[in-house]
Structure formats: C-alpha cells, structure tokens
Amino acid sequence: MSDVPSPQKPAGRFRRMLDRLSSSQEEIESEELREDAATAGCTRIGDCQDRQVVTVTGTLRTVTLRPRAGVPALEAELFDGSAALDVVWLGRRSIVGIEPGRRLIASGRVSMSQGRRVLFNPKYELRPLGQE
C-alpha cells in the first residue's frame, strides 16, 4: 500500500442514495441550502468578510423584536448551510413575510458585531413560497 491518496471518484447514484439515507435531516437541509446559494449566484455566508458588500440567500431561522438604543429593531438569523448571519431592520417592529422558515435573498454591507456577521437594513427579496 502506498501513501499516495487515490483520486476521488464521482459518487454513483447508489452511493449518493446511501449518503442521503445515512445523513441527518439537518445535514440534508444544509446541503440543499448550500446548493441553492450556489445556483442563485450568491456569496456563501461562511465566506463573507467584514465590510464586504454581498448578496446572500438562505432560510430565516429566528425572527425577534429587539430594541437597539431605544429604537425598535427587527432581527432575523439567516442560515445558508455554511454559516449564520444576523439581518437587522432598524425602526421596524414587523415586516410582512419575514417569519421563521421563509427563504430570502439579502444584499448589503456585512459588519461584525460581537463576533457575528450582521447586515443592517439590507435590500431583500422574499423567495416564492412554492420553492420551499
């Protein structure tokens, strides 16, 4: 046996089916979200750097109302299978369609706040409900 690694062969249909059956639901959903981000031409959240202008897509995990400096702020956690990002709309108590489980595309400048990626007041586009 040699220490030279063998080249990776593309997985066949049977192997992909076995991988899918042995994966958890969370792993399967994460893989689907990563594929969705790639096909939409968006930046993976895990690749976003501080002060970079990006377009990201994913699923909203949580949506909360949390005041910032006495101003209402609607906060949502966007997950794309690679990492999470906080999306914050300042001055808003609610936005129609922004709810957990909804997919969206958001664009803006990423900033870092307490070690987390944040998009403040991004441009956003809700994904059609039929694609979820």
Q: Read off the pLDDT of residues 25-53 as tens digits, 9 standing for 90 and up.
A: 777 677 777 787 778 889 999 999 999 99
Q: What is the CA radius of gyration of the chain?
A: 18
Burial class from Cβ neighbours inside 10 Å (0-12, 13-18, 19+) for residue 56 reads: buried
- To the question of pTM greater than 0.85 for the whole model, the response is no
Q: Is the pLDDT of residue 132 over 50?
A: no
Pairing status of strand 53-65 against strand 84-90: unpaired
| Side chain identity, residue 93 | R
